[in-house]
Structure 1
C-alpha cells in the first residue's frame, strides 16, 4: 500500500470516502452473518468510520486497522475511554475498551493476530486498493482467517473508472479473488441515481483441504 499517499490524504483532510452516518448496508445485512454479540470483527482500512461504533454497540470486539496514524488519532480523540498504546514492529497499537485500533500497513499484521477473528467487515478496503494489490490482499485474508469466518463485503462500480480510490470492483472480480477460498453469496446489486452500482456480498471461509486431519501415527502402514 502507498503509505505516503494515504498520509497525504489524511493530512489534507481529503476524506470524501468518510461517511457521516452508519452504512445502511451494514445495518441491513449484518444479521445475515449470524454472529453472537461477543464475536470479534476485523475492519480493514477503517479510517474513523462510525461503522466501528455501531459494531461495538452490537457487543462485538473490534480490530480496526488503517495505514494512516492520523486516522487512528482522529477516531480515538472522539471517544472518552482511556487508551493504552503499544508498539509491535512497524505497527502502532491502541487499546480502547473493546476496540484495538492498529495504525500501519495491514499486510504487516501477524496472521496470529487475526486467527481469533470471527468476521470481517470490508466497506472501504478492497475498493481502495489498485488492481495489482487486490490479489495479495485477498490471499492475506484467506491465510489469516479460520474456517467458518465470515465477511460482509461492499463494492462499487462507477460509470467511469477513476484513477484514484475508490476503484471499480465487479462481481466477476470478487469471484476471481475469493471463490477459491470462500463460499460466496451476493446479497445485493443496486444502481444509485448517480449511476454507481453498489454490491454486497457474504463470504464464508472454506475449510482448507487437510484441515483438522490427524497425522499418521508412527509406524502406521503405508499403502
Structure 2
C-alpha cells in the first residue's frame, strides 16, 4: 500500500482499523516487558490510536509515526499542552511534552532515533504491509533496535485472503521475518467471533552473536 492509498483512506475517513478504546492486548501484556516508566516506546503506523495516550499515562516517552497528517492533528488535539513543530527532510515532526509524533514514511526515520528506543508496540504496522514491504520493515527494525529492545506485536490470521490491509500474518510468517534477529515468544492466541485468530508475540532483539543470531549485514550478503 503506497502513500496515495492511505491518503485516500484518511480523506474518505474509511478508518475501520481505528479502535475506539485502548487495545486489550496492550493493557494485558505490557507489564511483561518490565520497562522503566521513563522508557522510550516506538509506535509505528499508529494512526490516531488511543494506545498512544495509554502509553503516555504509563510514564513513557512515546514516538509515533504515521503517513497521515490528520492522525497527528487528531492526537495532538486530545491534549492541551503546547506543540513544537519541525521539518526534517521528508518528515514532519511535532513534540508535545513526552510525545513525538512524526508524519512520514517509517523508512525515512533516522536509525539514531530508533536506537534510543527500548520497546516497540506494533498493533497496526506489520498487518498493514504487503509481504515484500514486511520483509524490509522487519530488517529495518533489526538494523535500528539495540540489543535487548523488545517488540510487543499483535498479529492476525484469517482463512480468507484479503486484497488489502489488514493482511493475514500467521506464526510462521512472524518467525520467518524476525527469527534470525529476535527471540520470539507467543503470549496469547485468541479466536474471535468472526473466526479471525489474534496472536500476541513478545520479541527481544538478540545480543550480538548470541545463539541463533545472524547479523543483518550477513543476511543481506547471503540474500545477494
Aligned mates of 2:25, 2:154 — CA distance in 1? 8
Given that 1:7 and 1:70 are in contact with CA atoms closer than 8 Å, whether structure 2 keeps it comes out as: no
**Bigger CA radius of gyration:** 1
Moved more, 74-83 or 89-98: 74-83
Mapping of residues 127-146 of structure 1, within 5 Å = 127-146=127-146
Q: Extract unaligned runs of 5+ from structure 1.
A: 211-223
Alignment map for 1:45-124 (pairs within 5 Å): 45-124=45-124
The aligned residue for residue 179 of structure 1 is 179
Partner secondary structure for residue 194 of structure 1: coil
For the aligned residue pairs, the C-alpha RMSD in angstroms reads 1.0
Instruction: Classify the secondary structure of the residue corresponding to 1:85.
Output: strand
1:71-108 deviation digits (Å, cap 9, x = unpaired): 11121122211110000000000000100000000000
Secondary structure at 2:101 match in 1:
strand
Deviation at 1:193, TM superposition (A): 1.1
What is residue 157 of structure 2 aligned with on the other side? 157
Aligned 8 A contact 1:6 1:68 in 2: yes
Instruction: Report how far residue 140 of structure 1 moved.
Output: 0.3
Deviation string 1:131-165 (CA, Å, 9 cap, x unpaired) is: 11100000000000000000100000123121110
Q: Please, what TM-score do these two structures have when normalized by structure 2? A: 0.92
CA deviation vs aligned residue, 1:160-187 (integer Å, no higher than 9, x gap) = 1211100000000000000100000000
Unaligned 5+ residue runs, structure 2?
211-224
Q: TM-score, normalised by structure 1?
A: 0.92
Once the two structures are superposed, the pairs formed by residues 200-211 of structure 1 within 5 Å of their partners are: 200-209=200-209
**Bigger CA drift: 10-19 or 73-82?**
73-82
Task: For residues 38-59 of structure 1, give each alpha carbon's deviation from its aligned partner in whole angstroms, at most 9, with x where no partner exists.
Answer: 1000000000000010000000
Residue 32 of structure 2 aligns to a residue whose secondary structure is helix
